[in-house]
């Protein structure tokens, strides 16, 4: 093997080679420009996953995390455009904060589940891969943002808007968190049960975060709720209400 193709960290295995598709791609250089990083994230995610397992991947992971937060804030502005007013500021902050807190809460369990699955993973590699997954999720939401804006300007139904944004979130997560499966493939782990269990936990945490940071869509005199509620109970409560659309989330 050529020395230039070897990973910086000798404990990290090389990308697997598929005889049908040829040699595995080389890891993306950790000093790649932002445009190249985003193109690689969309077109060649395996290269990005390989790069994020290297010792010098800190800059790359930081860029992906910052980009994810900014892109989520941009999508949050679309969410806030439905009600306007203070939601122009509140919704972007809450969407970014909710995603960041949900990821941080679920980070330890992902590391533990990955180890239980037999993956020789490092905490640095997990953080980098989660940053990439969140960045791809945010990119997907940005792509769906024009659709969300059209409906936010043409309907008064809070229930419909809430359901639509949830569907967009699930679609984006499905694409973004596919990178976690690529990480396990990269590390030679074939058992995906632990990852599926963790994804279920993350989805529940992120859904609860939407209720903990309410309102995201409707209006309220308070920026944060004063009452604790389970997200499913809160949704049922809103479905049964007949109040004006913009009075609640």
Q: How many domains does the chain have?
A: 1
Quick: pLDDT tens for 178-207: 999 999 888 888 888 889 999 999 999 999
Q: pLDDT tens digits, residue range 18-41?
A: 333 344 557 888 778 999 999 999
CA–CA dist 94, 99 (Å, integer): 8
Q: Classify residue 4: in a domain, yes or no.
A: no
SS3 of 41, please?
A: helix
Question: Could you give the CA distance from residue 201 to residue 105 in angstroms, rounded to a whole number?
Answer: 10
Q: Establish if 241 belongs to a structural domain.
A: no
Query: What is the 8-class DSSP label of residue 226?
Result: S
Q: Does any domain span residue 243?
A: no
What is the percent of the chain where pLDDT is above 70? Answer: 86
Domain assignment of residue 117, given as a range: 26-211+228-236
Q: Does residue 21 lie within any of the structural domains?
A: no
Whether 1 is in a domain gets the answer no
Q: Say if 103 falls within a structural domain.
A: yes
Tell me: pLDDT of 1 over 60: no
Contact yes or no for 195/181 (Cβ under 8 A): yes
Is 69's pLDDT higher than 80?
yes
Give the pLDDT band of residue 244 (cuts 50, 70, 90): very low
For residues 48 and 37, the answer to whether their CB atoms sit within 8 Å is yes
- Residue 130 to residue 53: CA distance in whole angstroms: 12
Examine residue 148 and state whether it is found in any structural domain, yes or no. yes
> Mean pLDDT over all residues of the chain?
83
Is residue 53 assigned to a domain?
yes
Say which residue the tokens 């609640």 belong to: 248
Instruction: Render the burial of 116-141: b for 16+ CB within 10 Å, e for the rest.
Output: ebebebbebbbbbbbbbbbbbbbbbb
């Amino acid at each position: 093997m050529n020395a230039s193709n070897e990973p910086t960290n000798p404990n990290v295995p090389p990308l697997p080679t598929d005889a049908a598709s040829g040699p595995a791609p080389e890891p993306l250089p950790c000093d790649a420009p932002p445009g190249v990083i985003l193109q690689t994230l969309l077109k060649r995610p395996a290269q990005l996953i390989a790069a994020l397992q290297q010792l010098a991947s800190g800059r790359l992971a930081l860029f992906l995390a910052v980009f994810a937060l900014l892109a989520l804030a941009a999508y949050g502005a679309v969410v806030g455009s439905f009600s306007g007013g203070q939601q122009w500021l509140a919704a972007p902050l809450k969407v970014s904060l909710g995603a960041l807190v949900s990821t941080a809460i679920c980070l330890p369990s992902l590391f533990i589940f990955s180890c239980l699955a037999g993956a020789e993973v490092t905490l640095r590699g997990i953080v980098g891969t989660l940053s990439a997954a969140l960045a791809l999720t945010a990119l997907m939401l940005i792509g769906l943002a024009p659709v969300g804006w059209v409906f936010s300007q043409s309907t008064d139904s809070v229930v419909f808007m809430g359901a639509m944004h949830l569907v967009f979130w699930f679609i984006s997560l499905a694409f973004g968190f596919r990178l976690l499966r690529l990480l396990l493939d990269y590390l030679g782990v074939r058992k995906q049960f632990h990852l599926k269990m963790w994804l279920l936990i993350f989805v529940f945490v992120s859904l609860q975060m939407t209720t903990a940071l309410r309102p995201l869509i409707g209006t309220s005199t308070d920026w944060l709720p004063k009452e604790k509620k389970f997200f499913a109970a809160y949704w049922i409560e809103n479905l049964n209400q007949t109040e004006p659309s913009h009075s609640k989330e």
